[in-house]
Chains A and B, each alone.
Chain A
Amino acid sequence: MMPILQIKNLTKRYGGLTANNDISFDVAEGEILSVIGPNGAGKSTLFKQIASFVSVTSGEVLFRGKTISNLAPHVVARMGVVRTFQETTIFKSMTVRENIIVAHHLRSKASLLGFFLGSKLARADEAAFGKSADDIVDFLGLEAIRNELASNLPQGHLRALGMAIGLATGPTVLLLDEPFAGMNHDETMKMVASVRRLRDERGVTVMLVEHDMPAVMKISDRIVVINFGEKIAEGTPAEIQANPRVIEAYLGSEDAAIGM
């Protein structure tokens, strides 16, 4: 089967700084693939390149065999490749539910004019979005904060909301940049389960960047390791934990917590 994403010789330079260099790997449909590496390794840059939020200096990303590099981000999102953000990125002055509803944009069948005039199609869309938003709220266990203003939420809930927004677009591939950051152990385990169910029940292919190694080892089918912008390893969690280059890279940094 053709890989859903092919990352080919991806390189990004910011002036003289090489954020990542000649990275290649494939992502299979329906897999959960984690990208790990020390701070500043180039993980977020990789995700931004895949989702076309930054241009690629060289190399390309193929989605179902077609290049998606250097397109506008909303075009790539429309094709089904959607990212979430490492920084807390939500619509602050909307409620949780409003955030999720507005993120259904790609699923509208009615035109903006149709929405303005309140056409039948538009009203059907609104109803469908409301229902789907409630499903997502239930799916991620956000019932208690459904009508809470996003700016009032604690960090853990913000991460979950970021994921809910990504989910609402109906992605084929979801790129989660540090989805468990700022969550306590219980919250993380709940999210790990949610991501798993996302793949199992909805068939979404998930890529994620995470520093929480126990969570990464638990959730991933495969792992890609990046260090100083270079891919240094790729394999199953067991293979990665036993890989000497990975251990060396992690021992050289503060979080020497790869073996667990």
Chain B
Amino acid sequence: MTKTNLAGIGVFLLVVFVAVPMMIAVSGRWDFYYTLTSVALLSIGSAGVWLTFYIGRINIGQGAYALMGGYVSAVLMTKVGVSFWLTLPLAGLFCAVISVAIGLPILRLRGVYFAMITLVLTEVTRLTALALPVTNGAKGITSIPLPGALTVFGVPLIPDFATIENPKLAFYLLAVTLMVLTYAALWRIVNSRLGHLCRSLQQNEELASSIGVNTAHLRLLAYAISSFFGGIAGAVFVAISQSIYPSSFVVTDSVNFMLYCFVGGLGFVMGPMLGTFLLYFGWDLLSVAREYQLLIYSAAMIALMLVLPNGVLSLFDRREGPK
């Protein structure tokens, strides 16, 4: 890692952990916490979608895993009484396991075929949530308790969110912490052998298998990691809204996850994060345009894709390969 990289990371951490909370406190725009928390969580989901792009698959099904993760956390907390902090990794793992079962038959497909099936996946998950007794049908699961205290070996790490005077800030800090961890992991993946193999898969699957890569395994692994991220994002969303319904994540959300990756740039680890921020925050800011919100948003999106087909980050770097 170069010095500029390190400096960039330092500045980024300062901004999200210090500058943003300070600016919000000064400006009194507390509503930004909700927006930025959403951006952080959504960009965890986008990171997963980006990784499936990285093995050459178009994933329009991340909403399904966000929904599953949310339900796993909600059910475990309300029906079994498990602590939120434990449901968080469990939600991710659940999604990873399910994605292996789903990926086994469908990851063989390429291009539009894989994309279409993942698109249907979100709808299937919604219908499943409607039908299953454990998810409580259309009524969903409500009155989910806030995350409790987290103590590890008697050391209190995180206080009970119900007793915190500013839970908005607490959720924001939780979301950006998870986001930072996710992108650190993604960066490591891309810059380690796993990422190199993913690139080999993306560029030529036949050649990859000729050099001994078990392409089926590798695709499953990438997809499982991707879905793990989706599940984590969903679980935290549920903790914030304290409720989940079959319509909490729908096909539009899945499509959005994919668009975030496109807009940010598929060749850049930070692409999905930036894309999520620009689109989600931009959408939010555009609410002043009222009935023209969607029109302006869509026009801006089309313009972006025309002018910068390789994503916004391609403005700053025209080298090929991972950044």
Contact = CB atoms under 8 A, between A and B. Distances in A.
Interface of A: 51, 53, 72-74, 77-78, 82-85, 89-94, 98, 101-103, 105-106, 108, 110, 112, 115-116, 118, 122, 125-126, 149, 165-166, 168-169
Of listed B204, B210, B213, residue having the most chain A CB within 10 A: B210
Contacts of B207: 85, 89-91, 165
Contacts of A102: 196-197, 199-200, 211
6 contacts: A82-B211, A91-B199, A91-B207, A92-B203, A102-B199, A105-B197
Given A94-B321, A108-B193, A115-B192, A77 B206 contact: no
Given A102-B197, A112-B193, A115-B194, A91 B212 contact: no
A125 B209 CA distance: 20
Of listed B196, B215, B321, residue having the most chain A CB within 10 A: B196
B194 A106 contact: no
A53 B199 CA distance: 21
Interface SS, B side: helix
Listed from nearest, the 3 A-B pairs whose CB atoms lie closest are: A115-B193, A77-B212, A106-B212
Contacts of A149: 320
Contacts of A90: 204, 207
Contacts of A82: 210-212
B188 interface: yes
Given A72-B214, A169-B212, 5 more contacts: A53-B206, A74-B214, A89-B207, A91-B199, A122-B192
A103 B321 CA distance: 17
Contacts of A85: 206-207, 210
B215 A74 contact: yes
Nearest to B201: A91
A93 B320 contact: yes
Contacts of B196: 98, 101-102
A105 B192 CA distance: 12
A42 B266 CA distance: 40
A74 B206 contact: no
A90 B212 CA distance: 14
Contacts of B212: 74, 77-78, 82, 105-106, 169
Of listed A74, A92, A108, residue having the most chain B CB within 10 A: A74
Contacts of B200: 91, 94, 102
B189 interface: yes
A101 B204 CA distance: 15
A118 B194 CA distance: 11
Contacts of A165: 207, 210-211
Nearest to A110: B193
Given A82-B211, A149-B320, A112 B203 contact: no
Contacts of A126: 193
A169 B189 CA distance: 22
A193 to B, nearest CB: 24
A98 B214 CA distance: 19
B211 to A, nearest CB: 4
Given A94-B199, A102-B199, A116-B188, A77 B211 contact: yes
A122 B193 contact: yes
A165 B204 CA distance: 13
Interface in B210-257: 210-215, 221
A74 B108 CA distance: 15
A240 to B, nearest CB: 29
Given A115-B194, A122-B193, A73 B210 contact: yes
A108 B214 CA distance: 14
Of listed A103, A106, A165, A166, residue having the most chain B CB within 10 A: A103
A82 B210 CA distance: 6
Contacts of B215: 74
Contacts of B197: 102, 105, 112
A153 to B, nearest CB: 14
A112 B224 CA distance: 15
Contacts of A94: 199-200, 203, 321
B309 to A, nearest CB: 15
A92 B193 CA distance: 18
A162 to B, nearest CB: 9
Nearest to A162: B207
Interface string B98-117: 00000000000000000000
A157 to B, nearest CB: 16
Of listed B188, B193, B203, residue having the most chain A CB within 10 A: B193
Of listed B199, B209, B321, residue having the most chain A CB within 10 A: B209
Of listed A53, A85, A105, A108, residue having the most chain B CB within 10 A: A105
A168 B200 CA distance: 14
Contact of B206 (A89, A98, A122): A89
Contacts of B210: 51, 53, 73, 77, 82-85, 89, 165-166
A89 B204 contact: yes
Interface in B302-320: 320
